[in-house]
Structure 1
Amino acid sequence: MRPRQRGSHLGLMLLASQLFQVGLDNIPPVTLAVLGLNVYLFLFPAAPLMQTCVSVQQAYWRGGWRRLLLSPLHHVDDWHLYFNMASFLWKGTNLERRLGGPWFLYLLCVFSLLTGGVYLLLEAALTELTQDQSYSMACAVGFSGVLFALKVLSNHYHPGAVTHVMGLPVSNRYVSWVELVLIHMMSPGTSLIGHLAGILVGLLYTLGPLKAVMKKCAGFVTSSGYDSRPSAYYNSSGSTGYRQNNPPDYTPPDYTPPHTASYSSGLTEEEQLEAAIRNSVNDRGQSSQRGAPPPYGLHLSDEARVEEIRLRRLRRFDSDSRQQGGRRK
């Protein structure tokens, strides 16, 4: 592996700042390990970018199936990495605490492979329907497809909640579809089909047979079958915590976080993001003073803020990313 030559690495520095503000000890191990792996493969890529992106031409026609493994873990530039990992920090922390580390790791592996597989099927279908070979040659790279699948799952656990997208309230049932359209309109260089593949994989898990199939497969490798309840390490009660005696699919009443003020007044985007993180850190301290175990998750309103900033920043840096030769996911 050869280290990647970059400029100022501002995206990496912002990501490192956020990680240390949240606290590495407050990030569950699987989420932290996946973050670390993505950063490592950005600095020391397993292969050049055009040899890690996935397309029908490269994967199916030429047999480059290892791209299904490499594509989600490589990024076009440090801003692409920063946006995806900042979003994953929130989603991964909340979902790993709810599902438990082993199942969350299993989920990430399945989502990563299936997102790439569904992407290939969609691009192949478009090629047949339109007789346009450019769909088969479209090469996508990045973690965003997996993030869309995780977003569908996260929203599934909070069906009555509302997320603000670009200042507009959107029900969690539809927010993934709204963001799919907005990202493509604001940043045409992103992979619409890659993001759509992630949404479909998330729906296969929440509404389709994927969850049952995964549990069945997990039962084959354990003597007593898989217990989907989180381990005690992640069952701390807190602002968004779940107790161990809840059933696996238990969804608590909608939670309204104590910090509901807008972060946008007079602040830059980085300062808005830092304010959201500081509020979450302050909440951890208040929970500890009340005698509750420190929550590892972060508030849904803060996650929505990160997603809104991510949408706006994608457009700003899209022109630079398109010059790198890979389509972002």
Structure 2
Amino acid sequence: MQRRNKASNVGLLLLLSQIYQVGLNRIPPVTLVTLAINIFLFIQPLKRLDETCISVNECLYMKDWHRLYLSPFHHADDWHLYFNMVSLLWKGINLESKLGSAWFGYIIALFSLLVGVLYMILEIALAELLDNPMYKLSCAVGFSGVLFALKVLNNYYHPGGTSRIMGILVPNKYACWLELIAIHLLNPGSSFAGHLAGILVGLMYTKGPLKTIMEACAGQRNSYSSGGFSYSGNPYYTSRDYNVYTDGLNEEEQFERAMRNSLNDRGGSSRNYNAERRPYGFWFPPEGPSVEELQRQRLNRYERQ
């Protein structure tokens, strides 16, 4: 338990330090509130992880619908929170300044639910296609599904540029697909369906009817710079400023560093790492000889935060 608390202090303090370096007055309001909610629920979770994670079995079959809005805002550990929130910080600064605070808040709220719904649909499809009901028991938490959707939007509204993923230089418009594969290869236990759900929700907005439906439901067309959807305040940090406190690393390089730091912090082997590090969220393996012990240790550590 002490090592878990030590890890939490390191990741959380590092995240707070980076937020401080950006400056609270330079972070758009919806992005700041979303950061605050995620950090608060990491420090003081509403429920245990096994009661907030989303799965087909618990959410759909057991009718525990509150998991739809709880799961995105709970994180398994400090590095999970750190990487997701640093990514949110950069995407929020870029997108909220482009779309306006009200519309960006609308996107965050709706995407958080849609990613969960699509995640369950994909898990049902995998269970049927592969004839493996265990997919319906996979349970996940974390904001990275929403972040994948925001990555698609960011590449849409800020086209061009390249990203380096696992040493491969690719155009940003394809980066999310390579990152999807890279994360799954680096950590096979991560939720492929959760990340894919985020990408698909982003595409539904940029290429499909989702944006039009959202505008219709809002009762007006989002003009991005119109008074109702704009945020006036101090200028936001640019990508160049962001590099100052990320050591010039892009998101993928930060992910690889976070993985290495987490391994060093725990002092664990790659085998133990694969059992516990989940970039999309906390995943309860449906079966296995050490599942109950793993869950008990995880939940005990979590309850003592």
Which TM-score tier does this pair reach, normalised by the shorter chain? 0.7 to 0.9
| Cα drift, residue 21 of structure 1 | 0.7
Structure 2: gaps of 5 or more residues: 264-271, 285-305
Which residue is 1:305 aligned to? 250
Q: Distance in 2 between matches of 1:309 and 1:164?
A: 11
Following superposition, the deviation at residue 238 of structure 1 comes to 8.5
Q: Provide the aligned C-alpha RMSD in A.
A: 2.6
Q: Look up the SS of the partner of 2:128 in the other structure.
A: helix
Give 1:296's aligned residue: none
Partner of 2:5: 6
Equivalent residue for 2:283? 327
Instruction: Please say if 1:229 is aligned against 2:249.
Output: no
Structure 2 counterparts to residues 11-160 of structure 1, below 5 A: 11-160=11-160
Q: Secondary structure at the match of 2:163?
A: strand
> Residue 303 of structure 2 corresponds to which residue in structure 1?
none
Q: How far off its partner does 1:162 sit?
A: 1.4
SS at 1:54 equivalent: coil
Report deviation, 1:131: 1.7
CA shift digits 1:173-205 (9 cap, x unpaired): 210000000011111222111000000000000
SS at match of 2:202: helix
Counterpart amino acid of 1:11? G
One of 277, 293, 296 as aligned partner of 2:245: 277
State the Cα deviation string for residues 14-33 of structure 1 (Å, max 9, x = none). 00110011111110111011
What displacement does 1:172 show? 1.4
SS at match of 2:5: coil
The answer as to whether partners of 1:187 and 1:315 remain within 8 angstroms in 2 is no
What is the CA distance between 1:6 and its match in structure 2? 2.8
Give the distance between the partners of 1:213 and 1:7, measured in 2 at CA: 46
- 8 A contact 2:148–2:198 mirrored in 1: yes
Which protein, 1 or 2, shows the higher relative CO under an 8 Å CA cutoff with sep ≥ 6? 2
Q: Secondary structure at the match of 1:309?
A: helix
What is the identity percentage for the equivalent residue pairs of Structure 1 and Structure 2?
A: 49
Q: CA deviation at 1:311?
A: 3.3
Q: Distance in 2 between matches of 1:238 and 1:31?
A: 11
Total equivalences in the alignment: 266
Cα deviation, residue 169, structure 1 = 1.6
Counterpart secondary structure, 1:65: coil
Q: Which has the higher helix share?
A: 2
Q: Which amino acid aligns with 1:314?
A: M
Return 5+ residue gaps in structure 1 as ranges. Answer: 220-224, 241-256, 260-272, 280-301
Check 1:57–1:90 CA distance in 2 against 1; reply closer, same or farther (3 A cut). Answer: same
In 2: Cα distance, 1:66 partner to 1:53 partner: 10
